[in-house]
Structure formats: structure tokens, C-alpha cells
Amino acid sequence: MSDTTHPFDLLQQLATRCRQRAAGLPAQQAVAETWSGIGFRLAGQPMVAAMGEISEILHEPRYTALPRVKSWVRGVANVRGRLLPIIDLSHFLDAPATTPRKQRRVLVLDRDEVFVGLLVDELFGMQHFPVDSFTTSVPDLAKELRPFVVGAYTGERISMIFNFRALARDQAFLDVAI
């Protein structure tokens, strides 16, 4: 007989050598659960809103002023064929806006029969927070903001969670006529 090795035996030897020399899998790290939202600055405070509350983000559009409305109602803008009321949220909360117009953004709310654009001071974009950094106690909060803040996420800075649903139910916000 000949001294030749069967091809199947060669494959088994090769597989054994590969397993011996293979690098191990990396250690599995625990994945922290996170909460995601849209970060913005309002009345000098860093805020965050739940992703599901904001339907769109716009640069401040051109708008037409409306007569006989409160001063915090900037006007109405035509956004893709829909009339969007533009509300200066800082002015509504009696806080002066100190940012240039180029930095300001409009957060569009479109739910529960409320279609409105809320003008905020600055947009930070999408932000992620560890769920365990949530707290319901928010220090040094202006009384105008209290009804609309449901908690905060702590970390490098405190980001307060702004509840737009509470704003949309607020009677003072809904009464825009003089």
C-alpha cells in the first residue's frame, strides 16, 4: 500500500490547526440602555425632547405676521402647502432670546390636532442618555418652565426633558388672541 493520506484526513488536520491558532472572541461588554431625544437650548437652558414628539426641524421660515394675536405668536408660514403657526417659545416663557436668527430653529409639532412650529434658541441635534441617569428632581428651574419639564438627564451637563404634550394642553398657550 502507499503512504498517502486521505484528503478528508488532511482537511480534519487543517481544521484542528485553525482552531488551535484562532483568536478568541472579544469579551462581551454589558450594553447600557439609552434614551434618545432631540437636544435644544431654550431660555438659556439645555433641553431635550422625546424623538416622537417632534415631527420636523426647520430653519426659521419666512412668515406673515398676524393681527390681534399675542406678541409671542410670530406669524404663520407656508410649509409645503400647510399653514404653520410660528410661536416664539422663549418669548412665551418670558425669557429673552439672545441668539442670532441664524442659530434659531423651529421644532414642528404635528399630533393630537396641534400643528405648530416652536422657535427655539439653538439646536444640539440627537442626543443619547443612559436611562439610569434620569432624575425627576430638577434644580434651579424657572417657574415658567416647571409645568413643561418632567425630569432631567444628568451627565456632563443637566438636560431637562421638555414635555410638548403638556405645552399643547396648556390653556395659556392655546389662547393666542388678544
- The verdict on residue 7 lying in a domain is no
CA distance 77 to 61: 7
Q: Cell numbers 439645555 label which residue? A: 46
Per the domain annotation, does 99 fall within a domain?
Answer: yes
Is the model's pLDDT at 27 over the cut of 80?
no
In a domain, 98, yes or no: yes
Indicate the number of domains in the chain.
1
Residue 95, pLDDT score = 84
How large is the average pLDDT for residues 97-106? 84
For the cut 60, the answer to whether the pLDDT of residue 1 exceeds it is: no
Residue 106 sits in which domain range?
34-174
pLDDT of 143 over the 90 cut:
no
CATH number of 81's domain: 2.40.50.180
Residue 85, number of CB atoms within 10 A of its CB: 18
Q: Which set of grid coordinates corresponds to residue 27? A: 469579551
Find, among 149, 148, 120, 123, the residue nearest to 134 by Cα: 149
51 domain-assigned? yes
What pTM does this model have?
A: 0.78
Q: Does 11 fall in a domain?
A: no
pLDDT tens, residue by residue, 31-88: 789 999 999 999 888 999 998 899 999 999 999 999 999 999 999 999 999 999 999 9
Under the banding of pLDDT at 50, 70 and 90, the label for residue 133 is very high
- Residue 2 confidence class, pLDDT cut points 50, 70, 90: low
Question: pLDDT at position 153, please?
Answer: 92
